[in-house]
Structure 1
Amino acid sequence: MAPLACCNLCRKFKPHLLMALAQIGYTFLYFITEASFNHGMNPHVYITYRHIVAGLVMLPFAYFLERKIRPQLTLYLFVEIFILSLLGVGLTLNMYFASLRYTSPTFLASMVNTIASLTFVIAIVLRLEVLDLRNPRGMAKALGTLVSLAGVMMMTLYKGPIVRNLGHPLIHIGGNTSVREDWLKGSILTVGSCITWSIWYIMQAYTLKRYPAQLSLTTWMSFVGGAQSAVFTVIVEHKRAAWTIGLNIDFWSTIYGGVVCSGLIIFIQLWCTQEKGPVFVTMFNPLSTILVAVLAYFVLGEKLYMGSHCHYRPVLAAVGEG
């Protein structure tokens, strides 16, 4: 009975475990991309390569495993996938990385935690979620949203006393940490990326109803999003040298980001969205913030404050000139 009960428990909490693993995957992404960007990798080139890698890796799995369940791709569906890719990759990620040029990483990491609240509000408006304040679960959802927003505001506006480091950092990731501040431009880009990210999570729920093939959808989003990012990168980056990467941290960060994050984790998120809805998926976003803060404090020796979560550099994508 014990093994059976354990299996039933794992099956019941499978989406929760998968989303927790996904956030752990994102945690390692923060550090490996920071090292890559400090090494000189252009963030927009990274986004392009990362999603091309994801598409190439996911393509054979999508083709063979979903042959019988994959719907026919109509023009309407392709346009929908194009918009979904733009919201999830081409527009959102490039705005996210670009905003790091003008604001602090702490501000950006705090603002990203509003995605769950924004997604919840949009889901209510579109009737994907029902808010019944007379029900304890409805009250908990509303209270959780308010607490989340209050926490973000506190982390953004209040730094608090510094927490002493316990010893020397185990790993040092060097790089240019200077920030060319333009808070108005940076805030607009940050808020814009959070809004489009929230819409992306919501739109996934609609698209999956018409295209219930998560592997194929992940592959399409990777290729289309990579192409969109390539067009954007060509416009903003005129140096050919930026597209050249060697067999170093730039290469491995691209492989990790493509295979694990843009491939496996996006597939997990799509599956969980179909099972539990978009709000459930975004509820786990703060977990990676906590994990990065803890690892940055204990492993990298970054400063940690009692008010704002830390003074770490989650993805120094565009802090320097890239």
Structure 2
Amino acid sequence: MEKKIFSPLREFKPHLLMLLTQVGYTLIYFITEASFNHGMSPYVYVTYRHIVAGVVMFPFAYFLERSVRPKLTFALFGEIFVLSVLGISLSINLYFASLKYTSPTFLASMYNTIASLTFLIAVVLRFEIVDVRNPRGIAKVLGTLISLAGVMTMTLYKGPLMRNLWEPLIHIQPKSASINKSWIKGSLLTVTFCVTISISYIMQASTLKRYPAQLSLTTWMCFMGAIQSAVFTVIAERNNPSAWIIGFNIDLWSILYGGIVVAGFLTYILLWCTEKKGPVFVTVFNPLCTIFVAILAYFVFGEKLYLGSIIGAFIVIMGLYLLLWGKEGDKVVDFKTKDISQCNSDHP
């Protein structure tokens, strides 16, 4: 009886964890925007955030994975180093740099391209198999095309402005006019970020096969990413040494939340779900974050919302969940493959 009750929960555990992850990511949009508008350097933020994450995750990784952690070879160390560049120091710096020139809603909307980009790259690298003779294979292709069409709608069509129903409950200091003039620069940074993070998701799946210790991999990535980002920050903020000074204000709280919750806890969840379900499955949940961000931005923070964003987001979500339906058919193949490999290991 107990097995029947908890069996569905175990089956949908990755889905529930990814839902929790999107809630955590939603909050970081607004916390970091408030911090950056307060004057904090995004490059300093990325460095401090991953130092905090590495320190917090280290004891868990050291004690909980002491018996299962593989030996770290030089080749594997180099692979984790590159993964840290793609997944942390380069991509996240691009991400927060673009937030300085755009809005949380725009960034969350463009973030939805990651699922399609990851799917396309996975197909090219043969991490993902598409059978166009199978309905689920067709769903993967159609879902990818539909989601890209939705992103193009959000990017190219604004439409009428939606009227706010009430005064914003929380006020975030608006960006200056000089920053708003750099919207194109922010868009280019966002696109570059999406491509970079898509590649990192594919690489994570590959690295986890050789280093199946999610806590330890998270810790290594955080420390390496912090060092890499620190080097970049020294160069970028060479004329502003005061940027490294953090007061007891929103800057500190954004670092603690970003380090402990996002870079530490949520990264571990992503790695676990990537190992269990694959990189495409992980990215398919990104549209939920767009919905949560739009709701908070419009109803709580009073941010402008255009009809084009609503229509585009709806199209994206239709496409990506069509892709998710196509992906669900893969689990049968994955389980069979897993069973075969286990039988082979039992019979040398």
Check the 8 A contact 1:204/1:270 in 2, yes or no: yes
Indicate the residue corresponding to 1:202 in structure 2. Answer: 202
Q: Provide the rounded CA distance (Å) in 1 between the counterparts of 2:101 and 2:252.
A: 27
Contact 2:42–2:96 (8 Å) recurs in 1: yes
The separation in 2 between residues aligned to 1:103 and 1:193, in whole angstroms, is 13
User: What residue number does 1:308 align with?
Assistant: 309
Q: Distance in 1 between matches of 2:110 and 2:255?
A: 25
| 1:115–1:194 contact (8 Å) kept in structure 2 | yes
1:206-285 to 2 correspondence within 5 Å?
Answer: 206-238=206-238, 239-285=240-286
* Cα 1:188/1:168, change in 2 over 3 Å: closer
1:289 and 2:261 aligned: no
User: 1:43-54 alignment to 2 at 5 Å?
Assistant: 43-54=42-53
TM-score by length of 1: 0.91
1:42-191 equivalences under 5 Å are: 42-101=41-100, 106-178=105-177, 179=179, 181-182=181-182, 185-191=185-191
1:163-214: CA deviation from partner (whole Å, max 9, x where unpaired)? 2211111111114343254566544433221111001000001100110000
Q: Distance in 2 between matches of 1:5 and 1:300?
A: 43
Aligned residue identity for 1:262: A
State the one-letter code of the partner of 2:297.
Answer: A
Structure 1 stretches of at least 4 aligned residues deviating more than 6 Å after TM superposition: none
Contact 2:30–2:104 (CA under 8 A) maintained in structure 1: no
1:7 Cα offset (Å): 1.0
User: Structure 2 counterpart of 1:210, which letter?
Assistant: R
Deviations 1:212-251 (A, max 9, x none): 0000000000000011010001101121110011111111
Task: Give me the whole-angstrom Cα distance separating, in 1, the residues matched to 2:154 and 2:298.
Answer: 16
Q: Which moved more, 1:259-268 or 1:109-118?
A: 109-118
Contact 2:29 2:104 (C-alpha < 8 Å) held by counterparts: no
Query: Could you tell which deviates more after superposition, 17-26 or 86-95?
Result: 86-95
Find the counterpart in structure 2 of residue 320 from structure 1: none
Letter in 2 for 1:293: A
Which deviates the most, 132-141 or 115-124?
Answer: 132-141
Summarize deviations over 1:111-155 as a string: whole Å, max 9, x none: 221111010011111111111112111111111111110000000
1: distance between equivalents of 2:103 and 2:27? 20
Q: Relative to structure 1, is the Cα distance of residues 176 and 184 closer, same or farther in structure 2, using a 3 angstrom cutoff?
A: closer
Letter in structure 2 aligned against 1:136: P
CA distance in 2, matches of 1:197, 1:50: 18
Native 8 Å contact 1:39 1:175 kept in 2 = no
- The answer to whether 1:29 aligns with 2:28 is yes
Distance in 1, matches of 2:104 and 2:260, equals 25
Q: Which runs of 5+ in 2 are unaligned?
A: 312-348
The structural deviation recorded for 1:105 is 5.5
Q: Equivalents in 1 of 2:5, 2:222: separation in Å?
A: 36
State the distance in 1 between where 2:153 and 2:5 align: 40
Larger radius of gyration: 2
Q: For residues 296 and 231 of structure 1, what CA distance do their matches in structure 2 show?
A: 34
Other-structure match for 1:319? none
Give distance in 2, aligned partners of 1:309 and 1:266: 29
> Aligned equivalents of 2:249 and 2:99: distance in 1?
24
CA distance in 2: counterparts of 1:23 and 1:125, whole angstroms: 27
Structure 1 contact 101–181 (Cα < 8 Å) conserved? no
CA contact (8 A) 1:51 1:222 kept: yes
